[in-house]
């Protein structure tokens, strides 16, 4: 099954949350990557039928998503907010989902879904006694109980410990390999990289990049990097660096050298060698723009 967004926009009053996004989410695992506040949740809510697009269309296999409760036969949704009925046990919660879907064997489906997320042990405890990671897993179980062809997860790894995280990653990968259409949002590149074959990048409501994760990763590492270098003799090091083509610009500042590396790979090998040859001792090398925001803004400037 596939979800298609065609020129989808969403605005709240004067604020544009999602701006003219066109994308198709097909079988396999797709990661929706973007910094916090980029509009990922807004986009995901429009795919899940919990928000009307202000403009454009969102469809599931051609059928409109908004105001169409039939789509939930095929869609499983794991919302970001952790709230679940605390007075129910994990098993009761998942079972209620199975019954709401009118499955032929709700108990069997519940056991299967609980086993998928390894929650059999705590299934008969009330959800209010669960940790954040356990709540997350029981939500995933409830979303999977009807064996949906499409699974939408909003920041699913938040609050999980590393072991649980790896387990859920394996589960998502396996379900993607079965041909299900899975989309999950994240602001952490490493999470997306480990699970998704395909990445959609959203920055400030705009569709910044789309494609195979290796391609996007390469574009992210190939961009000009900005480093701050502190050494025993900044001026001398600067002279040595600027003579090589891998450095685009070098400036002397109070806090040390600012170096723009055009060729990341070459620069990382070059810096220690040049320093040794020049007899300069390096005290500190730190990336000045490694935060996601600058990576994303680079991507969006390229695509724009």
Partner 1 sequence: MNGVIADISYRALLGRRRVWLLVLLPLVLLGLAVLLRVVGADGERATVTLLQTFSIGVMLPLLGLIAGTGVIAPEIDDGTVIHLLAKPISRPVIAQTKFAVAASVVAVFAAVPTFAAAYLLIGAESGVAGGFALGALVGGVAYAAVFMLLGVLTRHAVTIGIAYAVVWEGVVGNFVPGARRFSIQQWSQTVADQVSSSAFLSTEIALGFAVPALVVVTAGAVVWAGLRLRGFSLTGDE
Instruction: Write out the binding residues for partner 1, residues 137-156 only, by CB under 8 A.
Output: 142
Check residue 42 for interaction with partner 1 (CB under 8 A). Answer: yes
Site string for partner 1, 112-131 (x = CB under 8 A): --------------------
Instruction: Write out the binding residues for partner 1, residues 211-250 only, by CB under 8 A.
Output: none
Alpha-carbon distance values, 297 to 4, 60, 207, 208, 254 (Å): 25, 31, 12, 9, 27
Check residue 300 for interaction with partner 1 (CB under 8 A). Answer: no
Q: Angle at the Cα of 45 (from 165 to 117), degrees rounded to 5?
A: 25
Q: Angle at the Cα of 202 (from 199 to 207), degrees rounded to 5?
A: 90
Check residue 184 for interaction with partner 1 (CB under 8 A). Answer: no
Judged by CB under 8 A, the residue of 54, 56, 72, 294 near partner 1 is 72
> What string of H, E and C letters represents the secondary structure of 252-266?
EECCEEEEEECCHHH
Structure token pair of residue 138: 């029981």
- Who contacts 200 (Cβ-Cβ below 8 Å, separation ≥6)? 23, 25, 30, 31, 32, 33, 207, 209, 210
Of 85 and 283, CB closest to partner 1: 85
Check residue 30 for interaction with partner 1 (CB under 8 A). Answer: no
Site string for partner 1, 3-22 (x = CB under 8 A): ---------x----x-----
The region of 25-33, 83-91, 232-240, 268-276 touching partner 1 under the rule CB under 8 A is: 83-91
The region of 19-27, 44-52, 112-120, 287-295 touching partner 1 under the rule CB under 8 A is: 44-52
User: CB-side exposure of 183: number of CA atoms within 13 Å?
Assistant: 26
Check residue 295 for interaction with partner 1 (CB under 8 A). Answer: no
276 burial level (CB within 10 Å; 0-12, 13-18, 19+): exposed
Of 83 and 254, CB closest to partner 1: 83
Q: In the beta sheet, which residues pair with residue 201?
A: 33, 209
Q: How far is it, in rounded angstroms, from Cα 192 to Cα 299? A: 16
Closest CB 63 distance from partner 1, rounded Å = 13
| Binding site residues, partner 1, CB under 8 A | 12, 17, 36-42, 45, 48-52, 67, 69-73, 75, 77, 79-81, 83-85, 87-88, 93, 96-97, 99-101, 142
């Amino acid at each position: 099954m596939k979800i298609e967004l065609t020129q989808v926009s969403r605005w709240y009053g004067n604020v544009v949350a999602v701006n003219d996004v066109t994308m198709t989410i097909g079988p396999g695992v797709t990661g929706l990557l973007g910094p916090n506040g980029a509009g990922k949740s807004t986009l995901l809510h429009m795919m899940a039928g919990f928000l009307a697009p202000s403009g454009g269309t969102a469809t599931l296999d051609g059928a409109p998503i908004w105001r169409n409760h039939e789509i939930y036969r095929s869609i499983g949704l794991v919302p970001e907010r952790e709230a679940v009925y605390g007075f129910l046990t994990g098993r009761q919660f998942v079972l209620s989902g199975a019954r709401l879907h009118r499955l032929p064997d709700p108990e069997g489906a519940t056991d299967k879904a609980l086993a998928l997320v390894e929650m059999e042990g705590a299934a008969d405890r009330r959800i209010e006694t669960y940790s954040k990671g356990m709540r997350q897993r029981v939500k995933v179980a409830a979303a999977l109980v009807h064996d949906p062809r499409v699974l939408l997860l909003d920041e699913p790894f938040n609050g999980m410990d590393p072991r649980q995280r790896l387990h859920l990653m394996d589960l998502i990968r396996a379900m993607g390999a079965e041909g299900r259409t899975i989309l999950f949002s994240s602001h952490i590149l490493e999470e997306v990289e480990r699970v998704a074959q395909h990445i959609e990048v959203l920055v400030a409501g705009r569709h910044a990049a789309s494609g195979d994760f290796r391609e996007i990763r390469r574009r992210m590492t190939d961009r000009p990097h900005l480093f701050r270098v502190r050494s025993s003799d900044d001026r001398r090091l600067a002279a040595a660096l600027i003579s090589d083509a891998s450095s685009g610009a070098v400036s002397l500042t109070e806090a040390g050298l600012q170096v723009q590396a055009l060729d990341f790979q070459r620069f990382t090998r070059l810096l220690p060698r040049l320093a040794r040859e020049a007899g300069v001792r390096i005290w500190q090398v730190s990336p000045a723009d490694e935060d996601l925001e600058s990576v994303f803004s680079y991507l969006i400037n390229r695509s724009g």
